[in-house]
Amino acid sequence: MTASRDGVQADSVAEVTEMTSLEEKETESEPAMYEAVESEERVLESTGHPTVTEPTGYPEGELQFISVFHDGNLYVQDTRRTITKDEFSNMDVTALGTVVRIDNSVVPGEELVASQLPVETVIWKDDEKPYLYAYIEGDDPYVIRLCEEED
């Protein structure tokens, strides 16, 4: 659905409402862009472009991502999906070993040291592609695919 207001096209009524709200705010003391940004819990980078800051679920002050160090490289979470143990056993993967230590305060730099994974999680290497996997068992088992971090 396309809506318009004063000749400006928008994809939804919500966008038209947002445009109206911003125009009304421009007449106040602060520019509307800054008020809208603050009201949506956004911050302005040094470039002046708003970026959304969203909670990651990890405690503040800790690494905000899952990672594993292996063979001189850092692997970081690429995807996560629900998968049964049978489905996982059908994947072409080889066990590398278990996570030996967790350090959520610094980026891992030692073999099979990880961040934001349970200790003793088995790390698996894809036999055909450059991925590592961590299979997490439980009521809702899932697999985390990790890929080599690019510089």
**Each residue's pLDDT tens digit, 75-98:** 999 999 999 999 999 999 999 999
Give the chain's domain count. 2
**Residue labelled with tokens 């590592």:** 132
**Pair (45, 87) in one structural domain:** no
Residue 62 lies in a domain: no
DSSP states of 42-107:
EEE-TTS-EEE----SSPTTS-SS-EEEETTEEEEEEEEEE--HHHHHTS-EEEEEE--EE-SSS-
Give residue 28's pLDDT band: very low, low, confident or very high (50, 70, 90). very low
**Pair (130, 91) in one structural domain:** yes
Instruction: Please state the rounded mean pLDDT for residues 21-41.
Output: 41
**Pair (98, 144) in one structural domain:** yes
Stretch among 10-14, 80-84, 130-134, 145-149 having the lowest mean pLDDT = 10-14
Look up the pTM and report it: 0.60
Backbone angles phi, psi at 68, to 5 degrees: -140, 140
Domain region containing 125 = 67-148
**Contact in structure between 53 and 41 (CB atoms under 8 Å):** yes
Is residue 56 pLDDT above 80, yes or no? no
**Pair (32, 84) in one structural domain:** no
Is residue 8 pLDDT above 60, yes or no? no
Residue 57 lies in a domain: no
